[in-house]
Structure 1
Amino acid sequence: MSSSLSPRAKLALYGVLLVLAVPFVFPTWWMVTSSVKPVSQIFAFPPALWPTDVSFAAYRDVFTLQPFAQQYWNSAYIAAVVTVGTLAVSSLAGYAFARIRFRGQNGLFLLVLLGLLIPSEVTIVPLFQMFNQLGLIDTHWPLILVPIFGAPSVLATFIMRQFFLALPGELEEAARVDGLGRFATFWRIALPLARPALGAVAIFTFLHSWNLYLEPIVFLSTPEKFTLPQALTQFVDAYGGPMWNVQLSAASLTAIPVLIVFVIAQRQFIEGLAHTGLKG
Structure 2
Amino acid sequence: MKAELSPRLKTLLYGLMCVLLIPFVFPTWWMVTSSVKPISDIFAFPPRLIPQSYDWTTYSKVFELQPFVKQYWNSAYIAAVVTVGTMVVSSMAGYAFARIKFPFANAIFMIVLLGLLIPSEVTIVPLFQMFLKAGMVNTHWPLILVPIFGAPSVFATFVMRQFFVTLPAELEEAARVDGLGRFKIFQKIALPLARPALASVAIFTFLHSWNLFLEPIVFLSSADKFTLPQALTQYTDAYGGPMWNIQLAAATLTALPVLIVFIIAQKQFVEGLAHTGLKG
Distance 1:173 1:20 in 2: 50
Are 1:195 and 1:268, in contact at CA under 8 Å, matched by a contact in 2? no
The two structures have a TM-score, normalised by structure 1, of 0.95
Note the alpha carbon deviations across 1:157-196, whole angstroms, 9 max, x for none.
0011011111222222222222222111112211121122
Structure 2 residue 53 is matched with structure 1 residue 31: no
Mean Cα deviation higher: 127-136 or 174-183: 174-183
Q: Show the 5 A alignment for 1:4-19.
A: 4-19=4-19
Distance 2:187 2:3 in 1: 39
Find the counterpart in structure 2 of residue 163 from structure 1: 163
Find the counterpart in structure 2 of residue 188 from structure 1: 188
Q: Show the 5 A alignment for 1:185-264.
A: 185-264=185-264
Distance 1:68 1:100 in 2: 47
Alpha-carbon distance change, 264 to 171 in structure 1, aligned in 2, over 3 angstroms: farther
% same residue:
76
Q: 1:118 offset after TM fit, Å?
A: 1.2
Distance 2:180 2:108 in 1: 27
Amino acid in the other structure paired with 1:52: Q
Note the alpha carbon deviations across 1:237-278, whole angstroms, 9 max, x for none.
000000000010000000011112212321121112223337
Distance 2:204 2:57 in 1: 34
Note the alpha carbon deviations across 1:125-180, whole angstroms, 9 max, x for none.
11111111111111000000000000000000001101111122222222222222
Find the counterpart in structure 2 of residue 120 from structure 1: 120
Amino acid in the other structure paired with 2:188: R
Q: Show the 5 A alignment for 1:15-94.
A: 15-94=15-94
Amino acid in the other structure paired with 2:170: E
**What's the secondary structure of 2:274's corresponding residue?**
helix
Distance 1:170 1:218 in 2: 49
Alpha-carbon distance change, 22 to 174 in structure 1, aligned in 2, over 3 angstroms: same
Alpha-carbon RMSD: 1.7
Note the alpha carbon deviations across 1:70-107, whole angstroms, 9 max, x for none.
00100010001000000000010001100001111011
Amino acid in the other structure paired with 1:258: V
Distance 1:172 1:21 in 2: 46
Alpha-carbon distance change, 171 to 209 in structure 1, aligned in 2, over 3 angstroms: same
Mean Cα deviation higher: 268-277 or 59-68: 268-277
Note the alpha carbon deviations across 1:29-50, whole angstroms, 9 max, x for none.
1100110111111111111111
Mean Cα deviation higher: 264-273 or 138-147: 264-273
Q: 1:54 offset after TM fit, Å?
A: 1.2
Structure 2 residue 145 is matched with structure 1 residue 142: no
Are 1:196 and 1:267, in contact at CA under 8 Å, matched by a contact in 2? no
Aligned residues: 279
Distance 2:278 2:124 in 1: 35
Amino acid in the other structure paired with 1:263: I
Distance 1:181 1:95 in 2: 14
Alpha-carbon distance change, 152 to 53 in structure 1, aligned in 2, over 3 angstroms: same
Gaps of 5+ in 1: none
Distance 1:4 1:274 in 2: 25
Distance 1:196 1:43 in 2: 43
The two structures have a TM-score, normalised by structure 2, of 0.95
Gaps of 5+ in 2: none
Are 1:235 and 1:243, in contact at CA under 8 Å, matched by a contact in 2? yes
Amino acid in the other structure paired with 2:178: D
